[in-house]
Chains A and B, each alone.
Chain A
Amino acid sequence: MLRQIGAVTMINLRSIPQRWGMSLATVLSVALVVGVLLGFLAMANGFRATVDGTGSDDVAVVIGANSQTELNSGLGRDAVRLIEAGPGIAVDASGDPIISAELYVIANGRKRSSDTDANLPLRGVGENAPSLRNGFSLTEGRMFASGSNELVVGEGVLREFSGFEMGETIRLGSNEWRVVGIFSTGGSVFDSEIWADLGVIQNLYQRTGTVQSVRARLTSPEALAELQAYVENEPRLEADVSSERQFFASTAGGTSNIILFLGWPLAIIMAVGALAGAWNAMYASVDARTREIATLRAIGFAGFPAFVGTMTESLLLASIGGLIGAGITYLVFDGVSASTLGGGFTQIVFSFAVTPAAIVSGVVLALVVGAAGGFFPAIRAARVSILKAQG
C-alpha cells in the first residue's frame, strides 16, 4: 500500500510541469493571500511590540484622577510634592527620590513619507527622566542643558520626520530650538518623542507650575500597591496610579486591534477566492489524468493511493505558495518603519515585524486552502472507474 501511495504521488508530482499554468496560478494566488495576511500581521505585531516594549513594572505613572491619558491630565506643584513623599519610591545615591515630573504637549513634525505635518509628542522632562526609561541611551550628541532651548530627539522621530538631524534648528511657535542629541530607548514608544527642559516647555505653553504626569522608580514591582493605597488615602491628592506597563496597555490596544480586525477577515475572504482556484486546479489535474488513474486502477492500484496522491499535490502546491508569500513579505516588510496616530493623539513610530508565529499562521492558512481545495478532487480521483481507461 505504502509503495502504491509513493508511486502515485511521484507520478502526480512529476506531471506538474505538464499542467504548469494552473499549478503556477494556484501557487501564486496562495502566495498573495498569505502575503496580504502577513503584511497586516507584521503591522499589528510591530505596533504591539513597540507599545508592549514600553511598559516597565517597576515604574509607577501618576496622572490626574479620571484623565486616562497624559494629554488631559493636570497635577499642580503641591501634588508633585505629595507624590514625592509617597512610600515605595526608590532613592538615589544622595537620598533623593527618583521621580520625574513631566509635561506632554503636541508639536508638529513633517513626515518624510508624505511631506505633511503630523502630531509629535514634545515632552518637558527633568534630569531623572532618562534613568526612568529602561534601555535609555544617547546615540549621538549630549543631553539638553537645563533652562535652554535645546532638544534631544528620539530615534523613531529622526527616522520618520525630516528636520530633526543633529544641529538642526527647529521653530515651534515663536521659539527656536536646536537639536543637541539623539536618544534611543530600544524601540519603545519614547523613541517617537522629543524631549526638552520642563521649565522651558511650561513657559512656552503657558503651563507654569503644572505637570501632567509623574513617573517614579519603585523599590520593587510590589511597592506599587503601597503607593496606590497612599495616593487613594491622601485627600489633598486627586490622582490615579498605575504601573507603566498597565498604563501603556490601556492606552494603545485600539490601533493594533483595528489592524488585526481588518487583516484576518480580508485574508479569509481572499482565501475563499484562492480556495476556488486551488479546487479548480486540482479538478483539472484529476481530469487530465483520468485515463492514467484508471489504467493504474486496472493494473491493481487501489483507490486510496490516488486520493493521497492528489491531496499531496494540492498541499505541496499550497505550501510552496505559502512559503513564497511568507518569504516575500519577510524580505519586503520586515523592519519597514511606519507611524500612525496612537492613543495619546500623537504619532507612534514602529517597525513592521514579521514574526515566526505570524509565518506559521500564514503557512497554516496556505495548508488549509490546499487541503480544502484538494479534498473533493482527490475523492473523485479515488473513484475513477476502471472502464475510463478504455475511453
Chain B
Amino acid sequence: MNDATLIRKSLFRKKTRAILLVLSIMTAFLIFAVLGAFSRSLNSGVETAAADRLVTLNAINFTLTMPYAYWGRVAQVDGVQAVTHASWFGGYYQEPRNFIQAFSVDMESYLQVYSELEPVEGELATLFERRDCAAIGADLLSQYGWTQGQRIPLNSNIWRKEDGSQVWDLELCVVFDAQDQDVPTNYILLNYDYYNEALAFNRDQIGWLILTTGDPSINDRVSQEIDALFANSPAETETSTEAAFGQAFLEQLGNIGLILTLVIGAAFATILMIVGTTMVMAINERTKEVAVMKTLGFAPPRIFVHVLSESVLLSLVGGLIGLGLAAILLAGVGAMLAGQLPGLRMTWVIAGQAIALMIAFGLVTGLMPAINAMRINIVDGLGKE
C-alpha cells in the first residue's frame, strides 16, 4: 500500500462526508468560473481595445451627434493615420425586444481602422458598391439563424425615414469575424450613405469618430489637438482612448465588477469555513490512527504531507467537477447570449486561475489539521478513544 492509496482511502472513508464536502467545493468553483466568464465578457471591449485607437465624441454626451464635416477635419490632424465614423442605429428585428446592435458606418475606412475584423464570407467589393449591403458579425449571424446573402428588414427605434417608416431593408453581403475570439462581433454594419439619404431628421450628422495614431505615445497630443479644433463650436468634442471610453461606459451600469467580486468572495468564505472545520474534525477523529502510524515508523513530515495532500485532493476533485459543470453551463448560455454578451465561455485563463485557487484552497484548509496531526503525541494518541 503506497502513500497515494493511503491518502485516497482515508479521504473517502466516510462517504457521506466526503461527498458533501465535494459538493460544497463544487458550488464554490462553479460560481467562480461562471461569474468570472461573465465579468470577462463584460470587460471584453476594454481588454481588446487597441492602444493607439482613439474615439472622438460629442462633449455634452456621446448620444449627441456632430457634423459630418468633422470627419474630414480630423483626418487632417497631424498624427492621425486613419479615421472613420459610426452612428448608433438603435436597431431591432421585428419586435423591439429583439434588440440588435447596429451602426451606420463608412465601410472602407471602418474596416481599415478596425483592422482586426476580417471578412470571412462574401465580397468586399459588393459591400462597398451596393448601398443596401450590410456586414454582419459572426457572433450575431447564428443567433437569429440568418445566412449570408439573406435580406432582412432592420428597424430603428431612433431614426425615422422621410416616408415615415422606421425600417431599413438590408442584404447581408459580408460576414466578418476576428481571429481573436475575445473581439466582439455581435453587431451589424450598414452603409452610412444609404441611411443618411433616407433620414427624416438629423441628416449629415455622425455619431462619433474612431481614429488610429499608430503610436500610443502621441495619443494625448492628438486628442488635445482634435478637441481644440472644435472648441467653442456648437458641437464640442471630447477625445479619449478606446479603452477609456469602454471603461466609462461600463461604469454607467453601476459597479458590476465589485458585486461579482463580493459574491465570489462570499461563496469562498462560506466554503472555506465548512471545509476547514470539517477537516479539523476529521483529523481529530483519527488521532488514535495517526498515533499508530507514528508507532509504525511514519515520520511526522510524512504525516504532514499525507494530511495536506488529502485536503488538496479533496479540493481538486470538487473544484474540477465544478469547473466542468461551469464549462457545460457556459457553452449552453454562451450560444444563447452571443448577441448580447460576446465571448461568454470558459477560457484557459479562468481554468488556470481556478486550478491555482483549488490548490491554494486545499493547502489553506489542510494546513491546521496537518500541523495538528504532525504534533500528535504517540502516548496521548493511543490513549484516546
Contact = CB atoms under 8 A, between A and B. Distances in A.
Contact of A273 (B28, B160, B166): B28
Interface in B275-328: 276-278, 280-281
A276 B273 contact: no
**Top 4 closest pairs, chain A to chain B, by CB:** A277-B274, A273-B27, A276-B20, A276-B24
B59 interface: yes
A292 to B, nearest CB: 14
A119 B270 contact: no
B333 to A, nearest CB: 11
A22 B251 contact: no
A204 to B, nearest CB: 8
A79 interface: no
A243 interface: no
A270 B247 contact: no
A280 B276 CA distance: 12
B292 to A, nearest CB: 19
A173 B60 contact: yes
B358 to A, nearest CB: 15
A29 B61 contact: no
A260 interface: no
B74 interface: no
Interface stretch (A87-95, A108-116, A299-307): A108-116
A174 interface: yes
A52 to B, nearest CB: 19
Interface in B234-253: 234-236, 247-248, 251-253
Nearest to A339: B254
A117 B248 contact: yes
A32 B63 CA distance: 41
Given A113-B255, A276-B23, A106 B232 contact: no
Interface residues on B, range: 35 or more
Interface residues on A, range: 35 or more
Interface string B1-42: 000000000000000110011011001101100000000000
B274 A338 contact: no
Contact of B252 (A279, A283, A341): A341
Contacts of A272: 23-24, 27
A21 B277 contact: yes
14 contacts: A21-B280, A22-B281, A24-B277, A36-B266, A69-B157, A74-B201, A106-B60, A172-B60, A174-B234, A174-B236, A272-B24, A274-B270, A277-B270, A347-B252
A180 B232 CA distance: 25
Given A68-B96, A117-B248, A25 B30 contact: no
Contacts of A21: 277, 280-281
B23 A273 contact: yes
B175 interface: no
A107 interface: yes
A39 B259 CA distance: 10
Nearest to A263: B263
Q: Quick one: which of A24, A338, A345 has the most chain B CB within 10 A?
A: A345
B269 interface: yes
B273 A28 contact: yes
B170 to A, nearest CB: 20
B216 to A, nearest CB: 21
Contact of B90 (A29, A72, A105): A72
A386 B262 CA distance: 48
Contacts of A22: 277-278, 281
A241 B24 CA distance: 53
A18 interface: no
A103 interface: no
Interface string A167-178: 000001110000
Contact of A174 (B28, B61, B233, B274): B233
B226 to A, nearest CB: 16
Nearest to B250: A116
